[in-house]
Structure 1
């Protein structure tokens, strides 16, 4: 946990991820792609506003999330499905652990996956959703939020494709019916003698992550020189970052950056932190194989052997103790 607890903090006045409007993707697609692409190459992160996820829907989802996490522990645990890799339903405290960390993360969460029609070929590896009976409107609210995240993610992926010199629709088929997950996160109040931090230093497994709820301080990314850069987002803005799958596909041209959620200062220790990340995934059978455009004499192929998105996910879930 040495890195996770480092206090070497970069100055946001000299280091700052891009803050962009997704509306620009329609009015100036090339300009938007260049700006967000540069930020992804340098930091692996960007902040996105005007993303199209309705504010009213975000408020409904936040209220439903808080209502669920306020339930008695025994009621929540009724929705925990051991042995499923945490793919759906409730994941209690004391389970997820950042790769290489010695302490568990100080959080509990709920997972919503893609709803598949009966008989879908991916049903074997994408479990059906679980829904809490105690929270009215939970199911429809989360499905609506999932769809809104999916749409925003598709526009960002199109910009990434442009930045990489690929066809704007390159990623459409790669994520069709992808194994994406909406996570509702609750970080409870933190005692002064907490053994760990809210989320230990880690990289995301998936293609890209879209996060709501970063207005509460604590999220930091690790710069190449080892310093940590705080990420600031306004209420309702998305923090978007590159995941390991896309880093692998692009031969590290786009970087999956280590990040963490620090414990709050003393005056905020008694306040819970809530967030809603959307982990956008490739479809399970998509073979992650280094794009030939990303390989040259100065950048040899780091991954000469390809792997399916499903196998990659299963491998990583074991590493963080969810499977």
Structure 2
């Protein structure tokens, strides 16, 4: 069976399409979420100039000397700032320890929504809603903030589609995302000059993992590297179509839907050409939900043939355990179902 990531035009939800047009989009999204967990979308409405600004900002920051970039590091619990190559192990976020590599070979810069972005909420836990640490790079903050706002709009559009696809009240996701834990990670996959990839054995740009929250909005170069786990246990290359964004579900959505919709395992293995990695860039916007929102399985997703698979947990508790794995090296003991899928993929 050929692996295929569906391409869906969401224009009817961006430009006030007819009820029939929206219903067709919701049907296509439901089918994709049931069968693949990854979707490509067009009609998202992000201006090309905003995307160009984001990539320009990324290029100028990642071109800085490593020691200068390291000055923008934060402690592991603060999901902001710079992450150097080989400082994270995403497999640990699923409770899986890798025997073949210690860390993932990518560098990243993280920004997110801070407490000041939600003035209607009196107290928000720190460091979940930490202030951003902006580098001293001309125009970087403005360019990144412009894209961050657009990606957030697309994320909220997707959850509106999700509500229709799942037969939920139109404001279901609005009630659990009015102070959403939103983070954007800008990734750069490239080896420093002079590095010999043979020294690293089984080089991995980013280890196999599921995303943590509700939905991820991913912009990526049209460069091979992203691989998605198929239902048959095979890893499959995925590259975005022209003008498309990649959408994938996170663990929170898988829990809410009792795995009717899956948070699909994925990884990044950038191509190695003439002893070095072909550069690949991406920006992942994670729309994770309110930290105090309780994730309880939707009653419509439980029946005699589909017993409830998960105990209730807050978004904050879930995200904290995942981050402790990826950034602080603490194995996540609360991810038995997800880690079993990782181990099965490694045996395939």
Asked if Structure 1 and Structure 2 have the same fold, meaning a TM-score greater than 0.5 normalized by the shorter chain, the answer is yes
Is 1:198 aligned with 2:205?
yes
Is 1:129 aligned with 2:132?
yes
Is 1:17 aligned with 2:8?
no
Counterpart in 2 of 1:215?
A: 222
Is 1:225 aligned with 2:232?
yes
Counterpart in 2 of 1:42?
A: 35
Larger CA deviation: 278-287 vs 138-147: 138-147
**Once the 2 structures are TM-superposed, how far is the Cα of residue 191 of structure 1 from its aligned partner?**
4.2
**Once the 2 structures are TM-superposed, how far is the Cα of residue 306 of structure 1 from its aligned partner?**
1.0
Separation in 2 of the partners of 1:312 and 1:81?
21
Which of residues 19, 24, 32 is equivalent to 1:31? 24
Separation in 2 of the partners of 1:249 and 1:122?
23
**SS of equivalent to 2:172:** coil
1:102-251 alignment to 2 at 5 Å?
102=99, 103=101, 104-117=103-116, 120-124=122-126, 125-133=128-136, 135-189=137-191, 191-193=196-198, 194-195=200-201, 196-251=203-258
Larger CA deviation: 261-270 vs 282-291: 261-270
8 Å Cα contact 1:212/1:236 also seen in 2: no
Counterpart in 2 of 1:90?
A: 82
**SS of equivalent to 1:156:** helix
TM-score by length of 2: 0.84
TM-score by length of 1: 0.90
Separation in 2 of the partners of 1:268 and 1:185?
21
Deviations 1:193-247 (A, max 9, x none): 1332111111111111110014211111111211122212124321000001110
Which of residues 262, 265, 271 is equivalent to 2:278? 271
8 Å Cα contact 2:183/2:287 also seen in 1: yes
Counterpart in 2 of 1:5?
A: none
8 Å Cα contact 1:17/1:47 also seen in 2: yes
8 Å Cα contact 1:184/1:275 also seen in 2: yes
8 Å Cα contact 1:95/1:322 also seen in 2: no
Separation in 2 of the partners of 1:229 and 1:214?
17
**Residue-pair matches, total:** 308
**SS of equivalent to 1:285:** coil
Deviations 1:98-137 (A, max 9, x none): 222342111010111114327842153311111001x111
RMSD: 1.9
Deviations 1:235-266 (A, max 9, x none): 43210000011101111011011111113042
8 Å Cα contact 1:214/1:234 also seen in 2: no
Which of residues 282, 285, 290 is equivalent to 2:297? 290
Separation in 1 of the partners of 2:259 and 2:143?
36
Counterpart in 2 of 1:64?
A: 57
